[in-house]
Chains A and B, each alone.
Chain A
Amino acid sequence: MIPGIDRDSRPWWEALSRHELVHQRCDDCGRWRWPPRAMCGECGSFAWSWQPVTGDGVVVSHIRTHHSFLPGIEAPYSTVFVALAEQDDVVLPGFWRGDSEPAIGQAVRAVFVDQEGGESLLGWR
């Protein structure tokens, strides 16, 4: 169960559950937008489309949580923050699915992590 899905974000989540990583892109200035919203903050345009991204990115930070803050997720676990290859100010969090601990600057690719309710989340490796 993903809390707080809204009218702007629902298509992003639905695509993710189809194992498609898409992002909004401004039809006028070409800027990638994150998180989803109705207007381009760069040029003011309301024209945009969902476009696929490669799923390639670079780790910009990573943390290891040793305290179980949330039910259902057992500590310790690592979380990574990845800047997309398409535009480096689109930073996505995700589960770490690499073989060794992540490192800042490491090139990674997205994987889809299926959840019990039918949704998918992002992992990186």
Chain B
Amino acid sequence: MRDRAAIVGVGYTPFTKDSGVSTLALALQAISAACADAGLTVADLDGVSTHRVGDSVQAAVVAQALGMHDPRFVSDQFGGGSMSHTTVAQAAMAVATGVAETVVCWRAINSRSEFRMGGTGRPPPDVVEFQYQVPYGYATPPQQFAVMARAYLERFGLGREALGQVAVRQRQSASTNERAVMRTPFTMDDYLGARWIVEPLCLLDCCLETDGAVALVVTSAERARDLPHVPALVSGAVWGGGHTLFSNHRGDLTTTAAADSSRRLWSMAGVGPDDVDVACLYDAFTPLVLVQLEDYGFCGKGEAAGFYADTSMPINPHGGHLSEGYVHGLNHVAAAVGALRAGAEVALSTGQPGYVAGSTSAVVLKADR
């Protein structure tokens, strides 16, 4: 399916701490904006694709609200950031196979005001492993990724500055992004002085919890050429899985499922890490950026802190989940599309690399100029 489908429209709602509206309203706003951006209307859509963890409106309800009487493709996947990029991958598959012509992908969440991932006031998602974790007071994402951070820093003899450089640079990037929720730069000293959340992660290692939605319109590469923006061809799209912290398949705590799935991704896309102009790497927490640079093949295992310090490749130029906002991966795809429109040729965008959820997803996009 390489280069058969393209992202032609991107839509955002504002990113806030309290949207004041339903996830259905957020979804409809972002989808309408994405259609307008693509030079299309919602009447041109014939498929819908989203993901959620019991925290957002069902895909079929959105299809109905959009006025779609007979959607040709409805994908409504269970999962958080790990599944984010499958929304695009499945839309591209539907278009490439002719099941649908134009599919809209979105993620709509009130993750600050209604459904915090930390689980304030709602039962945890239906995940079998939780019973072995929650009784120990171990239930939240910052704890899960602190497990990785500790193992990673110790294994490679790194100090907290290895993580801090990611937090500092992404905030710097966000300072010029008017969409970003957090735009005030901070220094490494500020980072090192920030309060602990879960050692070894401090407040500035953790993403923001955000209310907002992002939508992306996917159509055929052929049709994309007649639309206003430079098409972002879906060159590669991948799923992976099997590695969770308690999966009984894990070799070590510093490698993710992406170490396996990335090989298929590059092969499918026909490019490699050296060809990438911009990387939008899932960054719910800082250690994920370093581990993915290794697992996606930009550098060897244990080398990411030095690679990050030296590289000129933009990594999360929008500020990422740490500073732009946390829309669970799809604001990364949107940022990648933006970079391609602005002149980049090849972009990588990734979901949570399968450390805790047992699955991962990613896409490689190419500008069709």
Contact = CB atoms under 8 A, between A and B. Distances in A.
Interface of A: 2-6, 8-9, 13, 32-35, 41, 60-67, 69-70, 73, 76-77, 79, 81, 89-95, 104, 115, 121
A41 B128 contact: no
A6 B196 CA distance: 35
Nearest to A33: B248
A3 B248 contact: no
Contacts, number: 109
Contacts of B140: 69
Contacts of B139: 69-70
B131 A3 contact: yes
A63 B196 contact: no
Interface of B: 118-119, 123-124, 128-140, 142-143, 146-148, 150-151, 154, 195-200, 245-246, 248-251, 253
B141 to A, nearest CB: 10
A5 B197 contact: no
Given A3-B130, A69-B139, A81 B147 contact: yes
Nearest to A121: B135
A121 B131 CA distance: 11
Given A61-B151, A69-B139, A81-B147, 4 more contacts: A6-B128, A35-B128, A91-B250, A93-B132
B249 A63 contact: no
Contacts of B136: 79, 93-95, 121
Contacts of A2: 131, 134-135
Nearest to B152: A61
For the complex of A and B, 3 pairs with smallest distance between CB atoms: A73-B137, A4-B131, A64-B199
